Amino acid sequence: MRFGFGRTHTEKVESLTRARELELAHSEWHPWFAWRPVRLIDIDSDGRDVYAFMESVDRRSSGWMNGCLFSSGIIWAHRKRRTPDKLRLLLFKECNRSCPGCCNNYWNLDELPVTHNFMGYKEIMLTGGEPMLDPFVVHTAIRNIRWQNKKAKIFMYTAKVDQVQATIDVLNKIDGITLTLHNRSDIIPFHSLDREIFLNNPHLAKKSLRVNVFSNVAKFNSELRHLCPWKVKWNIEWTKDCPLPDNEEFKRFPRVR
């Protein structure tokens, strides 16, 4: 039996002499296959442990969950582990700012694994560096993600609020954006973007629109008006070490130019 992409990715185990149910454990995983592993099988004939992943195929008297295929001593199986729900995707590390508390200072960005595979994630967050320094890379990443994973929500994190039309073009293709206001000088460009969204692109108001305001900018809150429906996080500060959440991975996008 074959599953998509022209490749098998299954393992045919013959001459099954004994199979016993074991406690489910994590193992190697391939993101193209999102089926939940149902039983871990111990194969005596060759000493390999594999996950049976067939669902609702053949409900026999073996009592396996979801009716794993078990016929004539043959099992179709695949090694699988649970995938993190979220991917933080570094498009490139270049940035127009040099913030001393930037989270990227705690990472060796050149050693992050490069990924071409976006299957299996529920959320993918585009980050940098500053993504809007090169909108071409942003659009390339969005296109590649959508080609592989049409269900994932895509969000972009940016602090470059002075490219209004370029930001609108990106926002039309993703599920939301998080802006960060670092300095008082970011307020006027932010209002320009805000007006462009709500006056000329009102459909974008239904997307996830978030803005983070550093404490040195929040004291000028009288200049930040009409923020509804932006979800505002006031008085943010840099986080030491910037730990990665348990359900999130941090990887790099392949260099495109």
DSSP output for 111-175 = GSPB----TT-SEEEEESS-GGG-HHHHHHHHHHHHHH-SSSEEEEEE---S-HHHHHHHHTTSS
Return the closest-CA partner of residue 88 out of 251, 247, 255.
251
**Whether the Cβ atoms of residue 212 and residue 181 lie closer than 8 Å to each other:** yes
Same domain, 6 and 110: no
**What are the residues facing 77 on neighbouring strands?**
11, 52
Q: Please, what is the Cα angle at 253 between 132 and 143, to 5 degrees? A: 70
**What is the pLDDT averaged over residues 55-75?**
38
Question: For residue 104, what are the domain limits?
Answer: 86-252
3-state secondary structure of 60: coil
Whether pTM > 0.95 for this model: the answer is no
Same domain, 197 and 164: yes
Same domain, 155 and 203: yes
Same domain, 21 and 146: no
pLDDT at 49 over 50: no
For residue 166, what pLDDT band results from cuts at 50, 70 and 90?
A: very high
Q: Which of 56, 82, 108 corresponds to the end of one domain?
A: 82
Q: Tokens standing for 220?
A: 């000028």
Same domain, 156 and 217: yes
Quick: pLDDT tens for 189-248: 999 999 999 999 999 999 999 999 999 998 888 888 778 789 999 999 988 888 888 899
Quick: pLDDT tens for 56-65: 333 333 443 3
Q: Tokens standing for 136?
A: 């071409």
Q: Is residue 169 in a domain?
A: yes
3-state secondary structure of 77: strand
Q: Tokens standing for 75?
A: 């099992």
Q: Which of 82, 107, 123 corresponds to the end of one domain?
A: 82
For residue 176, what pLDDT band results from cuts at 50, 70 and 90?
A: very high
Q: Tokens standing for 40?
A: 């871990």
**What is the pLDDT averaged over residues 91-109?**
91
Q: Is residue 257 in a domain?
A: no
pLDDT at 85: 92
**What is the pLDDT averaged over residues 68-81?**
40
**What is the pLDDT averaged over residues 48-54?**
38
C-alpha 49/C-alpha 77 separation (Å) is: 10
Domain count, the chain: 2
**What is the pLDDT averaged over residues 144-153?**
95
Share of the chain above pLDDT 90, in %: 54
Over the Cα atoms of the chain, what is R_g?
24
Same domain, 135 and 242: yes
Average pLDDT in the chain: 75
Same domain, 132 and 241: yes
Quick: pLDDT tens for 108-123: 999 999 999 999 999 9
pLDDT at 227: 81
Q: What is the residue whose two structure tokens read 């991975």? A: 249
C-alpha 39/C-alpha 66 separation (Å) is: 10
Residues 6+ apart with CB under 8 A from 156: 125, 126, 127, 131, 138, 170, 171, 174, 176, 177, 178
pLDDT at 143: 96
Among the residue ranges 81-85, 86-90, 151-155, 179-183, the one predicted with the least confidence is 81-85
More confident residue, 144 or 20: 144
Q: Which helix (H) or strand (E) is 210 found in, with range? A: strand 208-214
pLDDT at 72 over 90: no
**What is the pLDDT averaged over residues 62-72?**
38
Q: Which of 53, 82, 111 corresponds to the end of one domain?
A: 82
